[in-house]
Structures are given as structure tokens and as C-alpha cells.
Amino acid sequence: MNKKILLVDDDIDFLNQIEIHLKNSGFDVAVSESEKDAEKLLPIFNPDLVITDLMIDNFDAGFLLAYKVKKFNPQIPVIIVTGVTHELGFKFYAGTQEERQWIKADAILNKPIRYEQLLKEIYTHLHLD
């Protein structure tokens, strides 16, 4: 059975590019352009992992989605990808247990990201070889 990934981003180019890479890597992928639509997909698609942009519908919608994913199923890893560091200079981390407590993400990657970097995080959090 293929692992299922829910990919959420309002940047259509990023969304399409990562979706193609994920599918070519053997994952089943559902995509969403908004936090609200992604929230509706959760019980339908039941993903093994969620990748979400931080600023989808608004500045912190990715944090809200991560919280809702963990409320739906705390075992689903969430990877937040963000350009906020590049655009605004803010830096977010999910490196410690305390940071993961309030951020509700298992990893945060800064855009632009290399697909290999994202794939490494996916494999780590899904415990794949």
C-alpha cells in the first residue's frame, strides 16, 4: 500500500511541482489550496503525512491546520514549508519537544526547498528506508 500525503499550498506552481515529484516517488497525493479545504479532506483522504505551507489563507493558517491535523490524529506527521523567513525575516523551528508542543509540526522547512530535502524529511517521519 502506498503512503498517502496531503499537500497544501496556495502557490499553484509549488503545489503542482511537488505533487508530480511525490507521485513519481510512489506516494498517493491529495492537494488543497486552502486550510479549509484541507480540513475537509482530512477524514476523507486520511493521510499518512501532511505537508502544508505556513501562509495559505492567512499569515498563520499552516499552524492552524497543523493543530487540526494533530487533533484529528496525533500520529500524523506534519511538515510545514514556508517562505516567511525569506519574505519577512521570521524564523520558526520545530527542533525541540517544547517547540513542537506549541507549533504542532514535526518539521519546518524554509522555502525554497530542494525536493531531496523534503523527501528526506518525509522518509524520516514515515519511518521508511
Per-domain residue ranges for the chain?
4-126
Ranges of the chain with pLDDT below 70:
1, 59, 84-103
Any idea which architecture 4-126 has in CATH? 3-Layer(aba) Sandwich (3.40)
Distances (CA, A) of 120 to 16, 116, 117, 126: 19, 6, 5, 10
Q: What is the pLDDT of residue 1?
A: 61
DSSP per position, 38-71? HHHHHHHH--SEEEEESSSSSTTHHHHHHHHHHH
Which amino acid, 46? Answer: N
Q: What is the pLDDT of residue 101?
A: 55
Reading the block at residue 31, the C-alpha cell is 492537494
Q: What is the pLDDT of residue 41?
A: 96
Per-residue model confidence as pLDDT tens digits over 100-122 = 455 678 888 888 889 999 999 99
